[in-house]
Structure 1
């Protein structure tokens, strides 16, 4: 195994099974061409799996079933790094993540600050749509999911019960991101953020 392959596998193992990644994650190890060659060799050896164009994962293994399907959120993180746009769960996926809905969407949909597109990864469809709510930079996934869920439900459908539920689901870091980013949101969203904050700390 080449020195680059060795280094790549050390980083992959450190991240743990289930990690999805792109060649960009190893660009500090050498030229893009040498990283691509090392990744191809590792796929051939069965150490990692190619799940899409320029996308790989270190599959989770099951005793009886063998390699499991990659996790959609992990794939979305890798795609985000590949295309250079932010991706966060949107619509029904955001509502599900926050415990506001038990409905698991059939198609994984993510909001982005970039262009809308559809990607096929590991035999599944990743639907990426330009966000209708702002995406906050450097904010936790849950904080961004709150804004996407607000757009999904609509202003008139967010009641006190939902606000209480969100207050229970979020932590101080999520709340801090939301409160400090109120200037980026439509006024009604900013008002709901204040209500969630009050429910959390009231």
Structure 2
């Protein structure tokens, strides 16, 4: 299976008349140049990408960026899919307007504050093929604040959790741990183990073995079973 910081310069120049050091005067970008820069970035981006204002702060001040995003949204060049999140509208000939995927939304939310996200609950089980039903509420564990984002008729729930629960975030072991936790120990049978054993690659299984000590004892035992060649 397969962050932003502003850098301030303290450069100084020497005045020919006084010989004293004076701060360099830098002209802030105009609204027109910020608008053009944002449009260029949107045009060069992946079709499904979801943006937040943070993605454009290297192009101008927050006020200038917000003004451009508001203008682009009012003209239809951008769509506001949730508070502080935008995408370029896409339309399917038959299905009509297409909403961004949960993964695209999650990536944008994570990028806003350099957060880590870990799919959990029924969503983790679905991603691993243990259930075909996509839950209406997609749950993610995070090291950031808890919040809920509504996209169409679907909700994305971010739940703040402990550093231990985030220790395997972003790795296949994290996904397996959360899926098994969702099923609960009493419902983990040979079929669940066999499904995951067939689904995961040899590299995935090596990660499970390496991260087993980070999981609850009973989940660690299941992870080791999955990583075995035979049941």
Q: Do the two structures share a fold, i.e. TM-score over 0.5?
A: yes
Q: How does 1:41-120 map to 2 (within 5 A)?
A: 41-82=71-112, 84-120=114-150
Report the aligned-residue RMSD.
Answer: 2.9
Measured against aligned partners, the alpha-carbon deviations of 1:33-84 in whole angstroms (never above 9, x if no partner) come to 2222222222123221111221111233212454312222221222233355
**Could you say which residue in structure 1 is the equivalent of 2:170?**
139
Task: Give TM-score, length-normalised by structure 2.
Answer: 0.72
Q: Which runs of 5+ in 2 are unaligned?
A: 1-30
| Deviation by residue 1:79-122 (Cα, 9 ceiling, x = unmatched) | 23335532232211111111101222122222223443323345
Query: Following the alignment from structure 1 to structure 2, what is the Cα–Cα distance between the partners of residues 174 and 25?
Result: 32
Partner of 1:189: 219
Contact 1:85 1:114 in 2 (8 A): yes
CA deviation profile, 1:117-167 (whole Å, cap 9, x unmatched): 323345643222345882345634x54321110110112322232122112
Would the alpha carbon gap of residues 15 and 173 (structure 1) be closer, same or farther in structure 2, given more than 3 Å must change?
farther
CA 178–4 in structure 1, closer or farther in 2 if over 3 Å, else same: farther
2:52 and 2:108 in contact (8 A); partners too: yes
Q: Give the TM-score of the pair, scaled to structure 1.
A: 0.80
**Taking structure 1 as reference, are residues 30 and 172 closer, same or farther at Cα in structure 2, changes over 3 Å only?**
farther
- Native 8 Å contact 2:142 2:166 kept in 1: yes
Residues 16, 58 of structure 1: 8 Å contact kept: no
Task: Measure the CA separation in 2 of the matches of 1:51 and 1:30.
Answer: 23
Q: 1:9 to 1:177 in 2, by over 3 A?
A: farther
Paired residues, number: 200
Structure with greater proportional helix content: 1
Q: Is the 8 A contact 1:8 1:26 kept in 2?
A: yes
- Structure 2 CA distance for aligned equivalents of residues 89 and 26 of structure 1: 27
- Distance in 1, matches of 2:202 and 2:32, equals 45
Q: 1:176 to 1:135 in 2, by over 3 A?
A: farther
Cα distance change, pair 121–166 in 1 and its aligned pair in 2 (3 A) = same
SS in 1 for 2:129: coil
**Secondary structure, in 3 states, of the residue corresponding to 2:193?**
helix
